[in-house]
């Protein structure tokens, strides 16, 4: 439960008390700062507490934004300030200082000490906020836009404030703000205009974003099952259900924004379920094609590899530049100029094939064409989008002088997913690697990756050359991560590693040319990709990479690549299929068990709520 402490004398006709109760607060009325301090001490330490001026006039949604958002320990709007349990000490300290400064009166500190406080008001809540600012506390102030939040000084100002409240539709603002500020064309113009109303319907019936996320997953899995039937009716149903799943996928985020139901667990579920839905649908299409006599498992696996590598490029680039000190590059300046022209914004968002455009294309082609055509279109579209985005980021990196931090270098090292073999060899390279040119890390990673994938694809199954290339890949990977990873293009190292590992699995499974080898490889890459996505989401959530024991247990990217090439040399094609299946099951069990344990524990332990608007996925 939460407690709101209303300070001062309630104005006749004021609805502030009922509005606070509607937001889930117990309300306690007090007279002055002395009573406020005492009331604050009575609120249990594990509860949210708010101090609100009894004369407050404003929209309910302004109060909701200022007092109920779980992402911010401290938050304030004019006339109100709130603290979650982790920030109670800061609020209590500010309140004690304010009470001491005013001698228990209702006004004085801000006016008596204007050099210390920006606020010039007799509102106790605003003076506490000013004291928190003076203490250096991080107080979140939500963007209210046209919403009203004020403490009128006299009856005339109160009447004017009430008229301003009546002049703005609180619910319309709330619905509009439920939609992500930056999204793709399909999502913005074809989905969000009605999905926001579904989100409101869900909120009014007490549904949570996590429940809607789960419904979206179930719908997508049913769509994959329909696609797996291999019939035209099944394909049409699959396309329709995939769109329905995407509508629910948009709805869960809009519900979270509409009702401010953000959570660490919810952000993880939303992100991981998106990948699970898409890749399960690829598998369903491949199964459906097989029923019709067409083997497209290689295309399905290639689509998953390409899409996963695209995401790793996004994640790696963003982490490398998360806190980089840099000058704006000419490429970035050109991008900003293009964004100033309306139509170019939407063209540029569409050509990167974000999730809305991608799923719409897949759904339509599933319904009207064949799985093979669907995968061809997906591969061509994703390849173009990957080339476009990666080239732009390479140009940005090369045309600006950036100084990357130790945090960025560590994030890249974590995303690299190096196992014990690469770590041991990297220690052997030691200091000499740190004196190599700045382009060394991505260059040697690329050479090693190309060598292992090319030999796996171009030599006979069972020959020694893929194994030789895999040994070389271990060494080049070690040399890459032994470098400082602060170079202009070092963010390319993790996606190169992903492409090398996944590409090797794809090439060897295709070479096996036995029924079931490619589906087994699909399962293995899916399990490993889940681990890599989980690493990203942990870093984004501020929890750091998965534990070292997990990475070592599943071998790291270079260890798995070496193991698979060893198996390809020692085993027959049929035995290789069984080995890939067993490896996929083992990796999936380990990474899923640890991931679920971590995220559930983080949620129960009160980890800070997160909500990543990010790039369209």
The predicted pLDDT at position 444 comes to: 96
Q: What is d(CA 249, CA 213) in angstroms, rounded to the nearest whole number?
A: 6
Per-residue pLDDT, 437: 87
Instruction: Please give the Cα distance from 158 to 177 (Å, whole number).
Output: 27
Give the integer Cα–Cα distance in Å for 556 and 571.
Answer: 22
In the predicted structure, residue 105 carries a pLDDT above the cut 80: no
How many angstroms separate the CA atoms of 20 and 80, rounded?
A: 11
DSSP track, 534-577: HHHHHHHTTS-SPPHHHHHHTTHHHHHHHHHHHHHHHS-HHHHH
Q: Output the pLDDT for position 617.
A: 52
Cβ burial of 89 (10 Å; 0-12, 13-18, 19+) is exposed
DSSP category for residue 12: T
| Domains, in order of start, for the chain | 2-99+118-174 (3.90.550), 182-294+353-392 (1.20.120.1760), 312-324+402-616 (no CATH)
Pick from 90-104, 443-457, 544-558: least confident: 90-104
Give me the pLDDT at residue 451, please: 97
91's CB contacts (< 8 A; 6+ apart) are 40, 49, 51, 74, 81, 83, 128, 132
pLDDT of residue 107: 44
Residue-wise pLDDT for 108-132, tens only, equals 433 333 332 333 347 999 999 999 9
The single-letter DSSP state of residue 321 is T
Kindly report, residue by residue over 338-377, the tens digit of the pLDDT: 565 667 788 888 999 999 999 999 999 999 999 999 999 9
pLDDT above 90: percentage of residues in the chain:
79
pLDDT category, 294, cuts 50, 70, 90? very high
Q: What is the pLDDT of residue 104?
A: 53
pLDDT digits (tens, 9 = 90+) for 236-263: 999 999 999 999 999 999 999 999 999 8
Percent of the chain with pLDDT over 70: 92
pLDDT of residue 339: 60
β-pairing, 2-7 vs 49-53, is: parallel
Least-confidence region, from 41-45, 282-286, 404-408: 404-408
What are the pLDDT digits (tens) for 484-521?
A: 999 999 999 999 999 999 999 999 999 999 999 999 99
Distances (CA, A) of 401 to 63, 395, 398, 488: 44, 12, 8, 8
The 3 state secondary structure assigned to 215-232 is: HHHHHHHHHHHHHHCCCH
Q: How confident is the model at residue 568 (pLDDT cuts 50, 70, 90)?
A: very high
Residue 611 scores a pLDDT above 60? no
Q: Measure the CA–CA gap between 282 and 47, rounded to whole angstroms.
A: 46
Contact at 8 Å (CB) between 320 and 490?
Answer: yes
> Is the pLDDT reported for residue 391 higher than 90?
yes
Q: Where are the alpha helices (DSSP H) in 44-123?
A: 60-67, 88-102, 109-112
Query: Mean pLDDT, the chain, as a whole number?
Result: 91
Instruction: Please give the pLDDT value at position 400.
Output: 75
Least confident span in 58-62, 293-297, 368-372, 433-437 = 433-437
DSSP labels for 162-191? HHHHHTS-HHHHHHHHTS-SS--HHIIIII
Please list, in sequence order, all residues whose beta carbon lies within 8 angstroms of the beta carbon of residue 516, skipping any fewer than 6 positions away. Answer: 577, 581
pLDDT number for residue 241? 98
Question: Which H or E run contains 2?
Answer: strand 2-7
pLDDT computed for residue 291 by the predictor:
95
Cross-strand bridge partners of residue 49: 3, 83
Rounded distance, CA 450 to CA 469, Å?
9
Query: Which residue is it, tokens 């898409």?
Result: 278
Quote the CA–CA distance of 33 and 39 in Å, as a whole number: 10
Q: What is the structure's pLDDT at 326?
A: 55
Q: How many CB atoms sit inside 10 A of residue 336's CB? A: 10
For residues 460-473, give the mean pLDDT.
Answer: 96
Q: Is the pLDDT of residue 392 over 70?
A: yes
């Amino acid at each position: 439960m939460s407690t709101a402490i209303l300070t001062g004398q309630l104005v006749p006709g004021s609805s502030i008390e009922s509005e606070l109760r509607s937001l889930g607060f117990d309300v306690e009325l007090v007279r002055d700062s002395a009573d406020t301090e005492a009331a604050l001490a009575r609120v249990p330490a594990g509860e949210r507490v708010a101090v609100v001026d009894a004369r407050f006039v404003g929209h309910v949604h302004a109060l909701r934004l200022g007092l109920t958002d779980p992402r911010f320990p401290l938050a304030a709007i004019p006339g109100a300030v709130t603290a979650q349990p982790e920030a109670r000490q800061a609020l209590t300290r500010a309140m004690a200082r304010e009470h001491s400064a005013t001698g228990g009166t209702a006004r004085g500190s801000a006016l008596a000490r204007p050099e210390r406080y920006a606020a010039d008001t007799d509102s106790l809540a605003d003076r506490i906020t000013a004291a928190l600012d003076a203490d250096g506390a991080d107080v979140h102030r939500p963007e209210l836009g046209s919403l009203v939040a004020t403490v009128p000084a006299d009856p005339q100002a109160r009447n004017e404030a009430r008229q301003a409240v009546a002049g703005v539709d609180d619910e319309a603002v709330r619905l509009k703000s439920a939609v992500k500020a930056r999204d793709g064309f399909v999502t913005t113009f074809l989905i969000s205009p009605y999905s926001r109303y579904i989100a409101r319907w869900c909120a009014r019936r007490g549904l949570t974003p996590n429940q809607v996320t789960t419904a979206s997953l179930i719908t997508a899995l049913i769509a994959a099952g329909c696609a797996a039937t291999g019939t035209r009716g099944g394909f049409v149903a699959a396309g329709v259900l995939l769109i329905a799943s995407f509508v629910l996928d948009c709805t869960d985020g809009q519900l979270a924004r509409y009702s401010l139901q953000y959570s660490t667990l919810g952000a993880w579920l939303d992100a991981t379920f998106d990948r699970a839905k898409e890749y399960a649908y690829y598998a369903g299409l491949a199964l459906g094609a097989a029923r019709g006599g067409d083997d497209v498992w290689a295309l399905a696996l290639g689509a998953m590899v390409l899409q996963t590598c695209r995401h790793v490029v996004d994640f790696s680039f963003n982490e490398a530049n998360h806190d980089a000190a840099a000058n704006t590059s000419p490429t970035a300046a050109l991008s900003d100029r293009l964004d100033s022209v309306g139509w170019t914004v939407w063209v540029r968002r569409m050509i990167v094939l974000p999730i809305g455009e991608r799923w719409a294309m897949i759904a339509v082609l599933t319904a009207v064409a064949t799985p093979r055509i669907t995968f061809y279109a997906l591969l061509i579209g994703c390849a173009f989008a990957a080339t476009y985005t990666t080239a732009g980021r390479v140009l940005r990196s090369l045309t600006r002088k950036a100084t990357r931090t130790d945090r960025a270098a560590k994030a890249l090292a974590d995303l690299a997913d190096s196992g014990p073999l690469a770590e041991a060899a990297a220690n052997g390279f030691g200091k000499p690697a740190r004196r190599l040119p700045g382009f060394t890390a991505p260059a040697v990673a690329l050479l090693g990756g190309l060598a292992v994938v090319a030999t796996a694809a171009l030599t006979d199954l069972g020959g020694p050359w893929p194994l030789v290339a895999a040994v070389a890949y271990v060494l080049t990977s070690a040399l890459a991560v032994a470098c400082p990873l602060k170079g202009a293009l070092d963010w390319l190292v993790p996606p190169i590693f992903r492409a090398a590992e996944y590409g090797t699995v794809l090439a060897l499974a295709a070479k096996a040319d036995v029924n079931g080898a490619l589906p087994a490889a699909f399962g293995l890459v899916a399990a490993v990709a889940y681990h890599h996505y989980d690493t990203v989401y942990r870093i984004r959530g501020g929890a750091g990479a998965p534990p070292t024991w997990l990475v070592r247990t599943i071998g790291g990217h270079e260890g798995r690549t070496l193991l698979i090439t060893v198996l390809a040399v020692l085993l027959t094609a049929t035995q290789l299929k069984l080995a890939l299946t067993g490896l996929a099951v083992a990796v999936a069990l380990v990474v899923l068990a640890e991931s679920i344990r971590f995220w559930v524990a983080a949620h129960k332990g009160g980890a800070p709520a997160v909500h990543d608007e990010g790039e369209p996925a």
